[in-house]
Copies of this chain bind each other. A is one copy, B any other.
Protein backbone atom coordinates (compact mmCIF):
# COMPACT_ATOMS: atom_id res chain seq x y z
CA UNK A 1 0.00 0.00 0.00
CA UNK A 2 1.65 3.14 -1.20
CA UNK A 3 -0.40 6.08 -0.01
CA UNK A 4 0.36 9.64 -0.91
CA UNK A 5 -1.35 12.82 0.08
CA UNK A 6 -1.23 16.29 -1.38
CA UNK A 7 -1.68 19.00 1.22
CA UNK A 8 -2.20 21.71 -1.35
CA UNK A 9 -4.78 19.79 -3.37
CA UNK A 10 -7.77 21.42 -1.68
CA UNK A 11 -9.32 18.01 -1.14
CA UNK A 12 -9.49 16.84 2.50
CA UNK A 13 -6.72 14.43 3.40
CA UNK A 14 -9.05 11.78 4.76
CA UNK A 15 -10.99 11.74 1.48
CA UNK A 16 -7.80 11.43 -0.53
CA UNK A 17 -7.06 8.32 1.49
CA UNK A 18 -10.57 6.94 1.04
CA UNK A 19 -10.32 7.34 -2.73
CA UNK A 20 -6.88 5.83 -2.97
CA UNK A 21 -7.84 2.81 -0.93
CA UNK A 22 -11.08 2.24 -2.83
CA UNK A 23 -9.15 2.54 -6.07
CA UNK A 24 -6.38 0.23 -4.88
CA UNK A 25 -8.93 -2.37 -3.86
CA UNK A 26 -10.65 -2.21 -7.23
CA UNK A 27 -7.31 -2.51 -9.01
CA UNK A 28 -6.36 -5.53 -6.91
CA UNK A 29 -3.39 -3.76 -5.41
CA UNK A 30 -5.03 -4.47 -2.08
CA UNK A 31 -6.58 -7.88 -1.70
CA UNK A 32 -9.48 -9.22 0.38
CA UNK A 33 -8.40 -10.03 3.92
CA UNK A 34 -5.19 -8.05 3.59
CA UNK A 35 -4.45 -5.71 6.50
CA UNK A 36 -4.34 -1.97 6.03
CA UNK A 37 -1.48 0.01 7.51
CA UNK A 38 -2.19 0.59 11.17
CA UNK A 39 -3.36 4.02 12.10
CA UNK A 40 -0.54 5.46 14.21
CA UNK A 41 2.46 4.46 12.06
CA UNK A 42 0.69 5.61 8.91
CA UNK A 43 -0.24 8.89 10.53
CA UNK A 44 3.37 9.45 11.49
CA UNK A 45 4.62 8.54 8.03
CA UNK A 46 2.17 10.88 6.33
CA UNK A 47 2.63 13.59 8.97
CA UNK A 48 -1.01 13.89 9.89
CA UNK A 49 -3.00 13.30 13.03
CA UNK A 50 -4.03 9.73 13.77
CA UNK A 51 -7.67 10.82 13.78
CA UNK A 52 -7.37 11.84 10.15
CA UNK A 53 -6.45 8.27 9.23
CA UNK A 54 -9.07 6.97 11.63
CA UNK A 55 -11.69 9.09 9.90
CA UNK A 56 -10.73 7.68 6.52
CA UNK A 57 -10.94 4.13 7.84
CA UNK A 58 -14.28 4.86 9.52
CA UNK A 59 -15.63 6.15 6.23
CA UNK A 60 -14.37 3.07 4.40
CA UNK A 61 -15.96 0.86 7.01
CA UNK A 62 -19.30 2.63 6.64
CA UNK A 63 -19.02 2.02 2.89
CA UNK A 64 -18.45 -1.66 3.56
CA UNK A 65 -14.99 -1.63 2.01
CA UNK A 66 -13.01 -2.59 5.09
CA UNK A 67 -13.75 -4.08 8.47
CA UNK A 68 -12.22 -3.53 11.89
CA UNK A 69 -11.28 -6.34 14.23
CA UNK A 70 -11.08 -4.76 17.69
CA UNK A 71 -7.53 -4.74 18.99
CA UNK A 72 -6.21 -6.33 15.78
CA UNK A 73 -6.54 -3.79 13.02
CA UNK A 74 -8.39 -2.99 9.79
CA UNK A 75 -8.67 -5.39 6.89
CA UNK A 76 -10.04 -5.28 3.39
CA UNK A 77 -13.42 -6.96 3.45
CA UNK A 78 -13.79 -10.30 1.73
CA UNK A 79 -17.43 -9.94 0.82
CA UNK A 80 -17.82 -6.27 0.23
CA UNK A 81 -21.08 -4.36 0.04
CA UNK A 82 -23.34 -4.66 3.08
CA UNK A 83 -26.13 -2.97 1.16
CA UNK A 84 -29.33 -4.48 -0.18
CA UNK A 85 -29.63 -4.96 -3.91
CA UNK A 86 -31.95 -1.98 -4.49
CA UNK A 87 -29.59 0.27 -2.55
CA UNK A 88 -26.57 -0.99 -4.49
CA UNK A 89 -28.38 -0.44 -7.77
CA UNK A 90 -29.29 3.07 -6.78
CA UNK A 91 -25.74 3.90 -5.70
CA UNK A 92 -24.31 2.64 -8.97
CA UNK A 93 -26.98 4.28 -11.08
CA UNK A 94 -26.18 7.62 -9.51
CA UNK A 95 -22.52 7.24 -10.45
CA UNK A 96 -23.35 6.14 -13.97
CA UNK A 97 -25.76 9.00 -14.46
CA UNK A 98 -23.12 11.46 -13.33
CA UNK A 99 -20.74 10.10 -15.92
CA UNK A 100 -23.38 10.14 -18.64
CA UNK A 101 -24.42 13.70 -17.83
CA UNK A 102 -20.78 14.73 -17.76
CA UNK A 103 -20.25 13.16 -21.19
CA UNK A 104 -23.19 15.12 -22.51
CA UNK A 105 -21.81 18.44 -21.33
CA UNK A 106 -18.34 17.64 -22.57
CA UNK A 107 -19.88 16.80 -25.93
CA UNK A 108 -18.45 13.32 -25.92
CA UNK A 109 -20.56 10.98 -28.00
CA UNK A 110 -22.04 7.62 -27.16
CA UNK A 111 -19.46 5.60 -29.05
CA UNK A 112 -16.45 7.26 -27.52
CA UNK A 113 -18.08 7.06 -24.11
CA UNK A 114 -18.71 3.34 -24.39
CA UNK A 115 -15.18 2.80 -25.66
CA UNK A 116 -13.78 4.65 -22.65
CA UNK A 117 -15.92 2.63 -20.26
CA UNK A 118 -14.72 -0.65 -21.73
CA UNK A 119 -11.15 0.55 -21.68
CA UNK A 120 -11.38 1.33 -17.97
CA UNK A 121 -13.11 -1.95 -17.21
CA UNK A 122 -10.28 -3.72 -19.03
CA UNK A 123 -7.72 -1.70 -17.14
CA UNK A 124 -9.05 -2.64 -13.72
CA UNK A 125 -9.68 -6.25 -14.70
CA UNK A 126 -6.17 -6.65 -16.08
CA UNK A 127 -4.62 -5.05 -13.02
CA UNK A 128 -6.46 -7.22 -10.56
CA UNK A 129 -5.73 -10.48 -12.37
CA UNK A 130 -2.07 -9.48 -12.57
CA UNK A 131 -2.01 -9.10 -8.83
CA UNK A 132 -3.91 -12.35 -8.32
CA UNK A 133 -1.39 -14.49 -10.12
CA UNK A 134 1.98 -12.80 -9.91
CA UNK A 135 3.09 -9.80 -7.85
A-to-B contact residues, CB < 8 Å: 22-23, 25-26, 63-65, 79-81, 83, 88, 91-93, 95-108, 110, 113-114, 116-118, 120-121, 124-125
Contact = CB atoms under 8 A, between A and B. Distances in A.
B80 A105 contact: yes
A19 B104 CA distance: 13
Contacts of A23: 97, 101
Given A23-B97, A81-B107, A96-B116, 13 more contacts: A26-B100, A81-B105, A81-B106, A88-B106, A91-B102, A92-B108, A93-B120, A95-B98, A96-B120, A100-B117, A100-B120, A113-B121, A114-B118
Nearest to A64: B105
A103 B124 CA distance: 11
B120 A92 contact: no
A133 B95 CA distance: 29
A88 to B, nearest CB: 4
Contacts of A81: 105-107
Contacts of A80: 104-107
6 contacts: A22-B101, A26-B104, A26-B105, A92-B102, A92-B106, A96-B116
